[in-house]
Amino acid sequence: MKNLTSWAIIGLTLIFLIGPFIIIIFAGASAGESLAFPPDGLSLRWYLKVFTIESFRQSFVLSMGLAIFGTLAALLLGIPAAYALNRYELPGAETIRTVVASPIIVPGIIVGLALLRYMVIPLDVTVTVALFMAHTALVLPYAVRVVSSSLNNLRSDMEEAAVLLGCTRLQAFTKVVLPNIRGGVLAAFILGFVTSFNQVPVSLFLSGPGVRTLPIDMLAYMEITYDPSVAALSALLAFMSLAIVFIAERLLGFSRYV
Amino acid sequence: MSEKYVSLRNLTLSYGKTVAVPNLNLDVVEGELIALLGPSGCGKTTTMRAIAGLLTPTSGTIVIDGRDVTRVAANKRGIGLVFQSYALFPHLSAFENVAFGLRLQKMPETEIRQRTEAGIATVGLAGFEKRKPAEMSGGQQQRLALARSLVMEPKVLLLDEPLSNLDARLRLEMRTELQRVQKKTGVTMVFVTHDQSEALALADRIVLMKDGKIEQLGTPHQLYAEPATAFAAEFMGFENIFRVQGENLVSDFGQLPLGFKATSPMLAWRPSGVQVGQGPLSGRVSASSFAGGHREYVIDTALGQIKADAPIETLEVPLGENIAFDLPKSNARQLSA
């Protein structure tokens, strides 16, 4: 009986977690004209149509670019920050940690509004630049945290050993530290990529005419056209995320770092 | 052979405002194996890090092989350090760990290969070249760390608590190994330890340190037989140390008559130097344990506890009974303070 109850709980939890995903896959595979579940018959036409919608193609490229370059920029800032926070006794290190983490603590709506009101408008930056800066800031906390935890596992005397063997501090970092936190850096990249790619509230404020990230574009599309293509696209994106995480897990045991 | 191969002159080392080592002077002879011995916080590790260049002295100079290296960066000093944790590079194979420093010197590949293989062979790790450090035992990791430093042909090889992470059997093996490698390469070795038996067994000379100062410097035999101070005596196993006042021995607890005239302010006896079973003094046995070749007694006396090792042939005195003993002049070590 007890066994049965626990299985029931596990089953319900799984349905709760995976259910929406399955609904989306089938809603997108509908043969009908409007978004519905269960679908009116099955066909792949909406999955194919997604690729022909010009605005989706543009916003996909933008989202990809933001996710890749925003995350790279965050790593470029985040790795040295994590290193400094780990290796040196900095005055106010706790404050720095909190400030760095704030973009994920403060609700995205507020971050978006603040960036729009106090940075984008007064500085008059282009929409793309604004989005790039916002995504970098949003990914930074993950970069610092994940890289920090792998730096924690790396003893600092290894760098001293490298220095005594002839390395400069910089060489010690590139030849000894970086190779040993490679897993953490890759994990941070993937986490950052997914976070940036799926980001809605901040992008909502910063998107401008003709420049929209994919999730925002999908929201806009749905307001006008209520066909299953959005469902099909969602399913495709979910598969893409799954594939990335699956490959990462296989290559480097991703779950160890998160 | 230089008598002052490594020369520390008026060296003051501090962490922030805390002075760890004030005004240290020390000469290391070329090719010797010298131990910096002392309890934690005595400045031995700090001194070692300063020689390595990992810590910049507040004042004073460090001269190695005739060259003032006080302001020379750690990576340009030509000094090897075997870390207590070994600090091997986990992402590299044993071979690449040893070749690491040679590669930085942009040596031709054939020479790197040859020197690395020779280095690995020196420490008895031939055949383990492809292993990662994590796939090696503690003893093997230590040998690898040793080889990694040795292939650089350092002027001085520093070792931080080289035997402390090994179990008893490996410790003995590594001790012999270190002596063998030192004989073979002739490298000057400075090692840091808190374990006096390690220092006694391994070193040509011992620098006993306390509060950043040299308490006593000498050969293992000198330190063992003739400790000069109470601190040195305690470190060398003189467990019974008392002050002298006129005709009496005095402690914080009380006093006992001394059977002879003493000229030093303090006297010390090893447990093995206390005569048990007969003598003018007596006390109550508060602990007694069999230790193979002898029996270890703890005797409660007017001076407090006295530790005494009795030969196994002497009659055993049960707990709580009185036992006669003597603190003989012949076994007493005179201490300055």
- Which domains can be identified in chain A, with CATH numbers? 54-256 (1.10.3720.10)
Nearest to B85 among A155, A175, A180 (CB): A155
- Whether A166 and B87 lie within 8 Å, measured CB to CB: no
Same domain, yes or no, for B251 and B226?
A: no
Supply the ipTM of this predicted assembly. Answer: 0.84
Same domain, yes or no, for B144 and B38?
A: yes
DSSP symbols for B28-54: E-TT-EEEEE-STTSSHHHHHHHHHTS
Torsion-angle region of residue B71: left (phi > 0), alpha (psi -120 to 50) or beta?
Answer: alpha
* Neighboring chain B residues of A160 at a CB cutoff of 8 Å: 54, 74, 81, 83, 87
CA-CA distance, B54 to B261, in Å (whole number)?
A: 51
Same domain, yes or no, for B155 and B274?
A: no
Same domain, yes or no, for B58 and B176?
A: yes
* Neighboring chain A residues of B85 at a CB cutoff of 8 Å: 155, 157
Which is nearest to B21 in space by CA: B53, B64, B62, B50?
B50
Q: Which of A167-176, B6-15, B245-254 has the lowest mean pLDDT?
A: B245-254
Count of domains in chain B? Answer: 2
Say if B89 is an interface residue toward chain A (CB within 8 Å).
yes
CATH no. for residue B104?
A: 3.40.50.300
The answer to the question of residue B1 being in a domain is no
Distance of residue B45 Cα from the nearest chain A Cα, in angstroms = 13
Cα B73 to its chain centre, rounded Å, is 27
DSSP symbols for A59-102: HHHHHHHHHHHHHHHHHHHHHHHHHHHHHS--TTHHHHHHHHHH
Same domain, yes or no, for B99 and B42?
A: yes
* Neighboring chain B residues of A161 at a CB cutoff of 8 Å: 81, 83, 87-89, 148
Instruction: Kindly tell me if the per-residue pLDDT of B247 is higher than 90.
Output: no
Q: Report pLDDT digits (tens) over A155-199.
A: 889 999 999 999 999 999 999 999 999 888 988 998 899 889 988
Task: Judge residue A147's burial from the number of C-beta atoms within 10 Å of its C-beta, 0-12 exposed, 13-18 middle, 19 or more buried.
Answer: buried
Instruction: Kindly tell me if the per-residue pLDDT of A39 is higher than 80.
Output: no
- Whether B75 and A163 lie within 8 Å, measured CB to CB: yes
Same domain, yes or no, for B248 and B311?
A: yes
User: Last residue of some domain: B209, B233, B257?
Assistant: B233
Instruction: Kindly tell me if the per-residue pLDDT of A80 is higher than 60.
Output: yes
Say if B81 is an interface residue toward chain A (CB within 8 Å).
yes
Instruction: Kindly tell me if the per-residue pLDDT of A38 is higher than 70.
Output: yes
Suggest the residue from A151, A156, A164 to mutate for an interface test with chain B (most B CBs closer than 10 A): A164
Same domain, yes or no, for B212 and B261?
A: no
The pLDDT of residue B118 is 92
Same domain, yes or no, for B247 and B327?
A: yes
CA-CA distance, B151 to B121, in Å (whole number)?
A: 11
CA-CA distance, B239 to B257, in Å (whole number)?
A: 19
Q: Would you state the structure tokens that stand for residue B156, as one six-digit string?
A: 């001085």
Task: Kindly indicate the confidence band of residue B176, based on its pLDDT and cuts at 50, 70 and 90.
Answer: confident
Eight-state DSSP code of residue A34: S
Q: Could you tell me where the DSSP H helices lie in B226-316?
A: 230-235
Say if B74 is an interface residue toward chain A (CB within 8 Å).
yes
Q: How many CB atoms lie within 10 A of CB B325?
A: 22
Strand, helix or coil for residue B190: strand
CA–CA distance from B145 to each of A126, B98, B123, B162 (Å)?
55, 8, 10, 10
Q: Report pLDDT digits (tens) over A97-148.
A: 888 888 878 888 888 888 888 888 888 888 888 899 999 999 999 999 889 9
Task: Kindly indicate the confidence band of residue A257, based on its pLDDT and cuts at 50, 70 and 90.
Answer: low
Same domain, yes or no, for B65 and B162?
A: yes
CA–CA distance from B98 to each of A86, A175, B64, B73, B112 (Å)?
28, 14, 24, 22, 9
- In terms of residue numbers, what domain contains B272? 238-335
* Neighboring chain A residues of B106 at a CB cutoff of 8 Å: none
Same domain, yes or no, for B322 and B298?
A: yes
Buried b (16+ CB within 10 A) or exposed e, A160-172: bbbbbbbbbeebb
Instruction: Kindly tell me if the per-residue pLDDT of B129 is higher than 90.
Output: yes
CA-CA distance, A217 to A202, in Å (whole number)?
A: 14
Q: Report pLDDT digits (tens) over B307-332.
A: 999 998 888 888 999 999 999 999 99
Instruction: Kindly tell me if the per-residue pLDDT of B233 is higher than 80.
Output: yes
Strand partners of residue B308: B297
Distance of residue B100 Cα from the nearest chain A Cα, in angstroms = 7
Same domain, yes or no, for B161 and B118?
A: yes
Report the percent of chain A where pLDDT is more than 90.
29
User: Last residue of some domain: B187, B211, B233?
Assistant: B233
Instruction: Kindly tell me if the per-residue pLDDT of A245 is higher than 90.
Output: no
**Helix or strand run (H / E) with residue B268:** strand B266-269
- Return residues 150-209 of B near A (CB < 8 Å): 152
Cis peptide bond prior to B318, omega within 30° of 0: no
Q: Which of A127-131, A181-185, B4-8, B163-167 has the lowest mean pLDDT?
A: B163-167
